[in-house]
Amino acid sequence: MSDEVIRSAAKPFPAQAALPWLVGAGVYALLLMLAPRLLNDPDSYSHIAIGRWIMAHGAVPASDPFSFSMHGAPWISFEWLSEVIYAAAYALSGWAGVAGLAAAAIALAVALLARFLLRELSPMPALLMVMAAVTLLAPHMLARPHVLTLPIMVVWAAALVRCMDHRAPPPYWALPLLVLWANLHGSVVLALGLIGPAVLEALLDEKRSEWPRVLLRWLPFTVLAVAACCLTPYGPGPLLIPLTTLSAGHALNWILEWRPQDFGHVGSFELLLLAGIFALSRGVTLPVVRALVVLGLIHFALAQVRNADLLAMLAPLYLAAPLARQLRAQVGDDAAGSARGANLAALAVMIVTTGLALGRDVRPAPHNTPEAAVASAGLASAGPVLNDYSFGGYLIFAGIPTFIDGRSELYGGPFIESYNRDVSLADLRDFLKLLDQYKFGATLLEPDTPAVALLDRLPDWQRVYGDDVAVVHKRRDVPKK
């Protein structure tokens, strides 16, 4: 970074310092207005149920207590702290509290991103990058554990990027963040991966004779980072969860968020990707390590829809300083202004919107909530239930053992793929075999699931309930176990 940019970044800018919190307050208010959208995922149910289980037992589970198909199989709740936090929010203020918690975490992450970008860039390019990040993040703004880690991810990445920008020593102060991250979500392995670019750029900035010194400077930090990630009830277990999940292979393609990006229609991801390519065509260049990081993030986002979050929140941090040098961007010295009024305005917005949100009747999406079907058909006492994948979270929440749910790391690729092939009637014989193998007493499936039409015609089964959300069939003569 040039001396000019460094000096300008060090100047006080009180009014501009309030801008990130105004942005965060705006995002927070918008998300609370769209609170039901944050609950548009079936796993929100199961995360709260798991959190309640942990609080009730005073321990984290080591085997599956929620399904009948995998009951007792080894399983760890690698997001246990997030689940306890969500369960506590639900106990205090219901679904409005859950949505408010998720909204606050997302808004804080966006505000922190804006704050770090404004260290290097003037407000206009910084805000454009924040808007692009929010657009990419929007499809995955859900009340799930990953959003609680977003502020931590931004701070951790920004600390490493600042080391790269200023050739500074490793940020030991940030290591406690990894302990929190490791207990909130299994993506903490990403934090370790982000150390690599910082080390590589530090090596490239020095003569080869200095490389041993650079490595020795970063080695203790890396060792302590790995150790911090292992400070969980399961030890290093959460670090292995991404590998366990990805080992499901092609079966993950049955799950929307694990699919590659769909370019069959023009969407926000494609438009932003094209805008980035256009910017590069105008002469924007990046140092080799930054270019590799951004290319890696683009690859992850292309490979799996859910990884657009990483591109949204991390790429701007790695781009900010190089862009500032090329745009000759300087942070304005707005000493004549005052941040106090803007900060108070942001705080007022958050207080008012929180009060309004907690007074609303906020509930999860109906298409993930087969409440009427479960109650009307008496599924709690119907015996083993063959449930739709998207209903697994609600059944865990309702205390009914599931056949399958969103814990792909528990079920594994072959089980998930076999299930989807069966209920889609890709193999009719296998589906009939499945019905008898597990001695199902009832089925709970979405109306457009192919298996529903077949069950309507099977003499041993009868439809006992149906609506726009779910269809229930019961076996006429439940086989004895």
- Please give the pLDDT value at position 218: 96
Q: What is the mean pLDDT of residues 214-235?
A: 96
Radius of gyration of the chain measured on its C-alpha atoms: 25
- Please give the pLDDT value at position 465: 95
pLDDT single digits (tens) 393-441: 999 999 999 999 999 889 988 999 999 999 999 988 999 999 999 999 9
pLDDT single digits (tens) 322-352: 888 887 644 444 433 445 555 555 555 555 5
Q: Where are the domains of the chain?
A: 3-356, 366-475
Q: What is the mean pLDDT of residues 274-295?
A: 82
The yes-or-no verdict on residue 95 having pLDDT over 70 is: yes
Phi, psi of 169 (to 5 degrees): -70, 165
Triad 434, 437, 440: Cα angle to 5°:
80
Non-local CB neighbours of 93 within 8 Å, separated by 6+ positions:
100, 358
How far is Cα 42 from Cα 409, in angstroms, rounded to an integer?
A: 16
Decide: 429 and 420 in contact? Cβ < 8 Å: no
The yes-or-no verdict on residue 141 having pLDDT over 90 is: yes
- Please give the pLDDT value at position 13: 46
- Please give the pLDDT value at position 261: 79
Judged by average pLDDT, the poorest of 122-126, 198-202, 239-243, 344-348 is 344-348
pTM, two decimals, is 0.88
Q: What is the mean pLDDT of residues 372-399?
A: 93
How far is Cα 182 from Cα 226, in angstroms, rounded to an integer?
A: 10
